[in-house]
Amino acid sequence: MDNQRINNDLARARIQIQQYVRRWPPREGLFRGTIFPELYRPYYFQPPVPDGMPAPGTMRARRFKMAARKMKRGKRHVNR
Amino acid sequence: MSTVRMQMLIDIMALEFTAVELNLFLDTHPGERRALDAYNATVVQLDELKREYEARFGPLTNFGYSDSDYPWRWVEEPWPWQINFAHMKGV
Amino acid sequence: MWIYEKKLEFPSRICSTNPKLAKVIITQYGGPDGELAASLRYLTQRYTMPTGRSKAVLNDIGTEELAHMEVVATMVYNLIKDASLEEIKAAGLDGYYADHDKALYFVNGDGVPWVAQYIQSKGDPVADLHENLAAEQKARATYEYLLQLSDDPGISETLAFLRQREVIHFQRFGETLEHIYEFYNHQHRFFMGDHS
């Protein structure tokens, strides 16, 4: 029996069982695709980068990021 | 199709969607009393709304689930794929 | 027995005539991870599920997938119904048009027809449920790619709805898998003479 239990802990998928907590009203549920807030997983698609902005992953993008970080740091310093 | 009719359809869709969700939940949680009570309450509300819609616009279901005025209203258009909710005004 | 209800599951808004978008969305009608495959897969697997619960889940999700197939068909139908021959050609749908006019047919985005090989019915509930969990994830990913390709706000709204349904179905299949393991564990104890 113990052997069986060990086997049942390994080499198997596991999904948490949902608990009944609260739900959205009918119309809100319909437009969200679920009545269960805890199962709501919206997908936010990032539209293609407009002209003039550096494409993600490029050298130019990294420089942009570094410049932005520097600006942030500067601001924080001023705030203090 | 009139905006009133579209609004009624959306109300039916919304309540029935709640029923679908609770139904699937109950399939994997048959012992969850609160979900069952919510399901049964939804059935009553949905039934009322469907009767009201069918009295005005004809049967929503075939094969003996709803009766029809003369002449047989099931054949009336539009069918679901002919309704575009983008044409609904004032949403 | 099935009863038809003369309404869609979701109030689909189609804001444009857009055969280009129709050409990619049709994969959720007759493609490998589409709604025809989903509904037929679950509805044919349900016969050999071992418990009332697992039969119910396969039956009900399979039925909801039939409704999703209708929602996808409604999008495709409305996106192409007013398209001119020029627009059909520009969208690369002329090959489709030659075979089907503007009728609905079960193909993927490249016109490859649906085949039963897309689905499996293994008779082993654990294997079948894993296939279904994977199917829901593949369909979710497809809806995300379609959302990236969509330039019609009404269509995007409906695609987002269908995508969220895949998440819910995944959860229900997962809970069913847990239940099946518990069921077999219990059976095992029973055969071993341990009735605790």
Domain boundaries, chain A: 55-80
Whole-angstrom distance, CA of residue A41 vs CA of residue C110: 29
Whether pLDDT at A80 is above 50: no
Chain C residues touching residue A34 (CB < 8 angstroms): 164-165, 167-168
Tens place of pLDDT for every residue, chain C, 196 residues? 999 999 999 999 999 999 999 999 999 999 999 999 999 999 999 999 999 999 999 999 999 999 999 999 999 999 999 999 999 999 999 999 999 999 999 999 999 999 999 999 999 999 999 999 999 999 999 999 999 999 999 999 999 999 999 999 999 999 999 999 999 998 877 666 555 4
Number of structural domains, chain C?
1
Question: What pLDDT is attached to residue C24?
Answer: 98
> Collapsing DSSP states into helix, strand and coil, what is residue C24?
helix
- Which among A16, A28, A35 is the top mutation candidate for probing chain B, defined by the most B β-carbons within 10 Å of its own β-carbon? A35
Instruction: Tell me whether B22 touches chain C (CB under 8 Å).
Output: no
Q: Given an 8 Å threshold on Cβ–Cβ distance, is A33 in contact with C164?
A: yes
B35:A20 CB<8 A: yes
Q: Which helix (H) or strand (E) holds B23?
A: helix B3-28
Task: Name the nearest CA neighbour of B21 among A38, C20, A70.
Answer: A38
Question: Looking at the partner chain, which of A1, A8, A43 has a beta carbon nearest the beta carbon of C181?
Answer: A8
Residue A61 — pLDDT band, cuts 50, 70, 90? Answer: low
Question: Nearest CA to CA, how far is A28 from chain B (Å)?
Answer: 8
- Please indicate whether, in this complex, the C-beta atoms of C178 and A32 are within 8 angstroms of each other: no
Asked if B14's CB is within 8 angstroms of A29's CB, the reply is: yes
The parent domain of residue C118 ranges over 19-191
**CATH at C90:** 1.20.1260.10
The verdict on a CB contact (< 8 Å) between C172 and B85 is: no
Can you give the pLDDT at residue C46? Answer: 98
Q: Where are the domains of chain B?
A: 3-87
Closest CA in chain C for residue B21: C168
Give domain status of residue C55, yes or no.
yes
Q: What is the C-alpha separation between A47 and C156, in angstroms, rounded?
A: 13
Taking only Cα atoms into account, the Rg of chain A, rounded to an integer number of angstroms, comes to 24
Å between B15 CA and nearest CA of chain A:
5
* Residues B17, A23: C-beta atoms closer than 8 Å: no
Whether the CB-CB separation of B57 and B5 falls below 8 Å is answered with yes
Q: Higher confidence at residue A56 or residue A30? A: A30
Residue that has been written with the tokens 């998440």 in this structure: C167
Per-residue model confidence as pLDDT tens for chain B (91 residues): 999 999 999 999 999 999 999 999 999 999 999 999 999 999 999 999 999 999 999 999 999 999 999 999 999 999 999 999 999 876 5
C95 lies in some domain: yes
Taking the C-alpha atoms of residue B54 and residue B64, their distance in angstroms, rounded to an integer, is 14
pLDDT at A29 exceeding the cut of 90: yes
